[in-house]
Structure 1
Amino acid sequence: MSRSPYIYSRLIAIIIAAVAMITTVAHADSPPTPPQLLDASPPSKNILSLPDGSLEILYLQRGKQCVSIRSTDGGKTWSQPHAEFPFTKSGAGIPVTLVDRDGELHAILTVRRGDGRKPTVDYFIDIWHCRTSKKRTEWSEPQRIFAGYVGSLNGITQLPSGRIVLPHQYWVPGRKSTPPTGSHIVTTTYTDDGGKTWTQSPAELTAPCEANYIGSNYGACEPCMLPLKDGRAWMLMRSQTGYMYQSFSPDGADWTPAVASPFIASNSPASLLRLTDGRIVVFWNNCENPSRVDGAPIYTSRDALHVAISEDEGQTWQGFREVVRDPLRNESPPKQGDRGTAYPYSAETPEGDIILATGQGGGRISLMRIDPDWITATTAADDFSDGLEGWCTFKPFGPAARYWRDRTTGPVLIEHPSQSGKQVLHVRRPDEKPADEAVWNFPAGRTGRLTLRLKQQPGFQGGRIVLADRFIPPGDPVTDKLAAFVMPLSTEGDIADHDWHTMELSWNLDQHVCRVKIDGTSTTELPLVNPQSGAVSYLCLASTADELDEAGFLVESVRADVTAP
């Protein structure tokens, strides 16, 4: 009898463990939650995860002070502003924040100086720092830690040694934004005494520039960094090369020469996040820059922001998924100012989800909640029951001037010809503007299968199905060159009978082939178009009609299954 309490307690423990196991298995079997929009207009984008599990955003009330808002429910609701420290300097940027290993908060701000227009001559953007002490009960007096001209700051990091490192760029006085390496240099400024004194690294990291680029040749700029488990620090930086550039450091001060990373990218910065389970998450714009139009350049492609995740310290990556699409992507853009989905900032919730704030321009800044398991999913499908939210269907048209070009809606949803209450995608060329094109993202894979249900309408004048490894703006002529595989849709052949057909495209990048089946029967093999293609993550459906084509083709559903990420 004396052992009965022990037996009962063991029984209870076993029951609890069994319930937990059932719950875990049920959760594992349930599909991951797609990214959720929490707020379309947060007051600032730099989100901080605090030791108590709450989230915090610091922002400036212009000409007055820095304030904070806090969330204890994973970003769903936020507190009223709380005064942090006075900051009356005009021209200050978004605070970049860090909680150090002692629990104290550091705030880094950029401040404009001078009233001219020549960077580092009569116009400067300096870096300022202040920090808390005594368990966040007091703030230090803000001090300038770098004088010069810097761009946007994308994070500050504390290394295992205790050193706090701020990666940033600066404009070299008198240097023009031209080849060979542009006007900017990337370096770090660091402190070993908790922010009392700061030292600039001797590193001068650059990236190559090419003539005739569509924008300004700044060179390497707007870096972010992350400590790796092997003791090194890893830096990613924006460039105009079509790739993120990267560098490594043993201490945050000395850095290897910058080289191209595996990440295709438009001229936009990245963000790095270490999850508590050890995985690394990167946010960036996996986008191809738009081609010139009659010699005129177009604003860089920031229509979609992407996310990937690594379980092996960045050696391999999964995902390459669109996590945010420009909510105004189908409209003509504003003629001035930055726009799109770029400049991501992220943090982790106590539940293991990711909170992301990103975007530029009016109506384009979003606060999102992301399930990491959604990033590593190997299947995606769409039957248009939720409309075209998951697609980019804009159509650029007309002349280009000052990096601007008109846009209008391209492919649209229409009622299914034989199923009441269901919609299908209609791809055609309804007017004198360029032909329709629709772009859809799915989990990246070196091998996989894409399945479509489609129908060519009577009068159809041609189309194509394209698989690619990056977002290519709809209507861009570079698609055929950069695509992994291209499947022409002709007015004759296996699906020209105006009936519904199931088409399967099974690709294998290592074998340089994509095998096509129609209604279960093998028909053809597509060769690899771009030998440099990475894991396939994009579908493009396009009309290729040279003249008006009201008929076009219909798409009932799409599904992608990745077998080897």
Structure 2
Amino acid sequence: MERFASWRRSRRFIGAKRVLHIAKRCFIQNNIVSKESPMKKIGREVAFLATGAQNPRNGEGSFLRLLDGRIMYAYTEYYGDSWEDHATARISAVFSPDEGESWSQPSVLIEKDADTVNIMSVSLFRMKNGDVGCLYLRKFASEGGILCVPYFTRSSDEGGTFGTPVRCIARDGYFVVNNDRLVRLKSGRLLFPTAYHGADLDHLTPGEIYVCYSDDDGASWNLSADAVRSPYEDNVRLQEPGLFALPDGRLWLYTRTAYGHQYQAFSTDDGLTFGRVTPAFRFSSPDAPMHVKTVGTLTLAIFNPIGYHPFEGKTELWGSPKRTPYVCAVSRDGGLSFVDGATTSANGGFQDFIASCYAFEDDTEESYCYPAIIEVEGGFLVAYYHSNGADTCLNCNRITKVLYREIN
């Protein structure tokens, strides 16, 4: 989600100043992701949720396989005149009966109540008792201003109806949670990361990260005591974090920054505490989120490498580098090759990583962001924002289907 005018201006300034020295080291050079690209392009469009009159934005969704075999894709549907983060929005859904080849017309899944500014940024999850779990952000007015707080609800009838939502964080504040972010650990713990940005919309602060977790399958939630903080003192810091459970027991935290790369930290106690925050140099990035998820035997990392465009003048409405192209890195060792691996003087440790990358989108005139992922028969689906010619990437929603045989 984009923040507000002052943050947009600050990102433009910080991005250019801080990423110059590391942009030159990016593994993706100017001609690697283009129409003449040696990077293989994968996937084909199976749905496009276009915007229109009184529907200015569709995106930030999550998939779930229903018990009858259909796939549900829930997403944030803005309705009214504005696409801004604090405009009117609800959770809607489309359904596929045939592994993503065709989709129903949209229908409302969860409507916002009268006291809510909007609800958005959904994560779907199959609960231990078979319920459909649904995490989303609720923005609402308080005496101090607009708050943003995650809520969790569940459905016992496959999304037909949802119960009374549970507030995940008792503390008031502005807590950002991305879509498709719920993670289950081997211990049974359910968790998601959140970036705290201050008391309310009118008193925003640079981001610091907490982990929200449940040990009773979503009935109640706790917030980690210690914040994960940026190593730098600037006015953006850490934003839009994600979590991924590595096969060696570590919990990998990755986070959007304005420093030219994703940054990362690791936990060995199921997300209660994390070590030092450092650059994830494989994942060059403008101020855009990354998403990591396992499908079948593959672990995918979807991100926007910055090597093609950071100083070419292609910017979003708010002045930051375009979130383009859109790349999928593939790991066959449960994600360990994303975070570990020896470097050499010959290639810096990146050559094997480059060879594992594929392009979803190579039209660098467009922008792409906020993906969701699910496995289907013979492959996987990825849904994400597509700018569709607009000055902002927060516009339409494309669903792409990739077959495993497309990946070498």
Matches within 5 A, 1:103-182: 103-114=130-141, 122-133=145-156, 139-146=162-169, 147-154=172-179, 155-173=181-199
Of 383, 387, 393, the residue aligned with 1:356 is 383
Match for residue 17 of structure 1? none
Match for residue 75 of structure 1? 100
Match for residue 356 of structure 2? 319
Match for residue 264 of structure 2? 246
> Which structure is richer in relative contact order (CA contacts within 8 A, separation 6 or more)?
2
Root-mean-square deviation (Å):
3.4
**Which residue identity is paired with 1:198?**
W
Report how far residue 350 of structure 1 moved.
Answer: 2.3
Match for residue 290 of structure 2? 270
Matches within 5 A, 1:429-444: none
Report how far residue 206 of structure 1 moved.
Answer: 2.1
Are the equivalent residues in 2 in contact too, given 1:51–1:103 (CA < 8 A)? no
Report how far residue 266 of structure 1 moved.
Answer: 1.2
Count of matched residue pairs: 319
**Which residue identity is paired with 1:230?**
D
Larger Rg: 1
Are the equivalent residues in 2 in contact too, given 1:242–1:264 (CA < 8 A)? yes
For 1:358 and 1:261, the matched residues in 2 are separated by 24
Match for residue 58 of structure 1? 74
SS at match of 1:40: strand
SS at match of 2:368: coil
Of 15, 34, 37, the residue aligned with 2:42 is 34
Are the equivalent residues in 2 in contact too, given 1:341–1:364 (CA < 8 A)? no
For 1:345 and 1:64, the matched residues in 2 are separated by 19
Matches within 5 A, 1:512-551: none
Of 257, 267, 271, the residue aligned with 2:276 is 257
Matches within 5 A, 1:413-432: none
Matches within 5 A, 1:355-504: 355-360=382-387, 361=393, 364-376=396-408
- Report the CA distance shift for 1:166/1:102 in structure 2 as closer, same or farther (over 3 A): same
- Report the CA distance shift for 1:78/1:40 in structure 2 as closer, same or farther (over 3 A): closer
Which blocks of at least 5 consecutive residues in structure 1 are unaligned? 1-31, 212-216, 330-339, 377-565
Asked whether 1:290 is paired with 2:333, we answer no
| 1:443-502 C-alpha deviation (Å, 9 max, x unpaired) | xxxxxxxxxxxxxxxxxxxxxxxxxxxxxxxxxxxxxxxxxxxxxxxxxxxxxxxxxxxx
- Report the CA distance shift for 1:136/1:46 in structure 2 as closer, same or farther (over 3 A): closer
**Which residue identity is paired with 2:61?**
N
For 1:375 and 1:244, the matched residues in 2 are separated by 24
Are the equivalent residues in 1 in contact too, given 2:253–2:265 (CA < 8 A)? yes
**More divergent stretch after superposition (228-237 vs 279-288):** 228-237
- Report the CA distance shift for 1:204/1:83 in structure 2 as closer, same or farther (over 3 A): same
Are the equivalent residues in 2 in contact too, given 1:189–1:199 (CA < 8 A)? yes
**Which residue identity is paired with 1:47?**
S
For 2:157 and 2:201, the matched residues in 1 are separated by 44
**Which residue identity is paired with 1:249?**
S
Of 342, 364, 372, the residue aligned with 2:369 is 342
Match for residue 83 of structure 2? none
For 2:45 and 2:74, the matched residues in 1 are separated by 20
Same amino acid, percent of matched pairs: 19
Match for residue 61 of structure 2? 46
SS at match of 2:383: strand
Are the equivalent residues in 1 in contact too, given 2:385–2:395 (CA < 8 A)? no
Match for residue 229 of structure 1? 247
- Report the CA distance shift for 1:239/1:44 in structure 2 as closer, same or farther (over 3 A): closer
Of 226, 237, 250, the residue aligned with 1:219 is 237
Match for residue 463 of structure 1? none
Report how far residue 234 of structure 1 moved.
Answer: 1.6
**Which residue identity is paired with 1:168?**
T
Which blocks of at least 5 consecutive residues in structure 2 are unaligned? 1-39, 51-57, 80-87, 338-352, 388-392
Match for residue 428 of structure 1? none
Report how far residue 170 of structure 1 moved.
Answer: 0.7
Matches within 5 A, 1:295-314: 298-314=319-335
For 1:290 and 1:84, the matched residues in 2 are separated by 38
| 1:392-447 C-alpha deviation (Å, 9 max, x unpaired) | xxxxxxxxxxxxxxxxxxxxxxxxxxxxxxxxxxxxxxxxxxxxxxxxxxxxxxxx
Of 99, 102, 124, the residue aligned with 1:97 is 124
| TM-score normalised to structure 2 length | 0.68
Are the equivalent residues in 2 in contact too, given 1:291–1:298 (CA < 8 A)? no
For 1:177 and 1:65, the matched residues in 2 are separated by 25
For 1:126 and 1:172, the matched residues in 2 are separated by 12
**Which residue identity is paired with 2:168?**
I
| TM-score normalised to structure 1 length | 0.50
For 2:48 and 2:111, the matched residues in 1 are separated by 28
| 1:258-283 C-alpha deviation (Å, 9 max, x unpaired) | 22113111111011111122x21000
Asked whether 1:202 is paired with 2:225, we answer yes
